[in-house]
Chain A
Amino acid sequence: MVWLDTNSLKRYNNSPSILLFMDKFFEIIAGYGQFPFGIVVGIWLARGAYNQALKFMGQTHASLLEEKKQLRETVEAQQKRIDLLHDEAYSEKKRIGER
C-alpha cells in the first residue's frame, strides 16, 4: 500500500505541503484498521436509528395524551354512574323513611 510507505515522506521532501498532508492523513486513516471508513458508515446508521427512535418517542407522547383524554372521559362516565346509583339509593332511603 502506498500510504503505509514511510519512505514516501522523503520522496515528497521538496513537494508542496498538501501532498505531505495527504500522506500523513492516509497514514492516520490506515491506523484505524481494515475498514476505516466504517466510522462514517456507523455514524450514518446511528443517525437513521436515532431518527427512528425519536419518531417512536413522538408517537408514544401522542398516544399518552390520547390515554389521558380517555381516562378523563372515564372519570366523567363513572361520575354519571355514581350519580345514578346515588339517586337510586337516595330514593330508596326516602321511600323507607316515608313508611
Chain B
Amino acid sequence: MDILSFTIFAAICTAIAFLLIQLIVVFPAWRRFRIQKATTSLSKCLKRLNSDSLLNGKIHNGHYLHDRFYRLLFSFFLNDSPKIKSTANMGYDRDAEREMSQFRREINDLDPETTATIDEALSAITQIVILHNPVKFSIYLLRSRQSRVVRENGSFKKRMVRGGEYLTVSDKITFDTHCHA
C-alpha cells in the first residue's frame, strides 16, 4: 500500500465518519433548535397580536384571521405530541388559492406592523411543519406549482409565508390536543 492510496483511503474514511456524525449528532440538535426558535417567534407574534390588534378590535370574529389563523397559532402551544403531522400537499389547489387570496386581502387591509407580525407567524408555521416532516415537505415544496409561481418573482421567505397561508386555509395540520395537564 503506497502513500497515495493510503491517503485516499484515509480521506474517504474521514469523510464518511464526518457525514455520519453530523447526521446522527448535529442534525437532530439543529432541528430541535430551529423548531424551538420558530415556536418562540410564534409566541412573540401571539403576544403582539394580543396586546395590539386583538385589543384594539382590528381583528374581529368571523374573519379568516380570527377563526382560522389565530386558532391555528394557539394549537401550536396546546399540542401534546412531540410530533406535528400534516396531510397537506403543496400542489396546486384551486379552492385553497381562492381562500388564500381572500386571506391575503384581509392581512393587507391591516396596518403594516400587524401585517409584518402575521407574515412572520405564517413563515414560522411553515418552518415548524417542514422541520417535523423534512423529507415529505421538501419534496412537495420542490415540485409544487405554487412554489414555482412564487419562485419566478419571490424570495424564499415569500414562499415560506405562502406555505403558511396554505396551511392556514386548508386546515390540514393534525394536532394532538388532549390537554392532560
Inter-chain contact B17/A42, CB cutoff 8 Å: yes
Given known A-B contacts A77-B51, A78-B50, A34 and B6 have beta carbons under 8 A apart: yes
Q: Is A66 an interface residue (CB 8 A)?
A: yes
**Bound-complex Cα distance A50 to B25 (A):** 7
Inter-chain contact B25/A49, CB cutoff 8 Å: yes
Inter-chain contact B55/A67, CB cutoff 8 Å: no
Q: Is B47 an interface residue (CB 8 A)?
A: yes
Given known A-B contacts A49-B21, A49-B22, A38 and B10 have beta carbons under 8 A apart: yes
Q: Is B63 an interface residue (CB 8 A)?
A: no
Given known A-B contacts A52-B29, A56-B33, A67-B43, A81 and B50 have beta carbons under 8 A apart: yes
Inter-chain contact A53/B25, CB cutoff 8 Å: yes
Given known A-B contacts A46-B21, A56-B29, A74-B46, A81 and B54 have beta carbons under 8 A apart: yes
Within 8 A of A (CB), among B1-55: 1, 6, 9-10, 13-14, 17-18, 21-22, 25-26, 28-30, 32-33, 36-37, 39-40, 43-44, 46-47, 50-51, 54-55
Inter-chain contact B13/A35, CB cutoff 8 Å: yes
Q: Is A63 an interface residue (CB 8 A)?
A: yes
| Residues of A bordering B, CB below 8 Å | 34-35, 38, 41-42, 45-46, 49-50, 52-54, 56-57, 59-60, 63-64, 66-67, 70-71, 73-74, 77-78, 80-81, 84
Inter-chain contact B29/A74, CB cutoff 8 Å: no
Q: Is B92 an interface residue (CB 8 A)?
A: no
Contacts of B156 in A (CB 8 A): none
Inter-chain contact A67/B40, CB cutoff 8 Å: yes
**Bound-complex Cα distance A66 to B32 (A):** 15
Contacts of A57 in B (CB 8 A): 29, 32-33
Q: Provide a sorted-by-A list of 25 A–B residue pairs whose CB atoms are within 8 angstroms.
A: A34-B9, A38-B10, A38-B17, A42-B17, A49-B21, A49-B25, A53-B25, A56-B30, A59-B37, A60-B33, A63-B37, A64-B40, A67-B36, A67-B39, A67-B43, A70-B43, A70-B46, A70-B47, A71-B46, A71-B47, A73-B51, A74-B47, A74-B50, A77-B47, A77-B50
Contacts of A38 in B (CB 8 A): 10, 13-14, 17
Contacts of A50 in B (CB 8 A): 25
**Bound-complex Cα distance A65 to B102 (A):** 36
Contacts of B25 in A (CB 8 A): 46, 49-50, 52-53
Q: Which 3 residue pairs spanning A and B have beta carbons closest together?
A: A77-B50, A53-B29, A70-B43
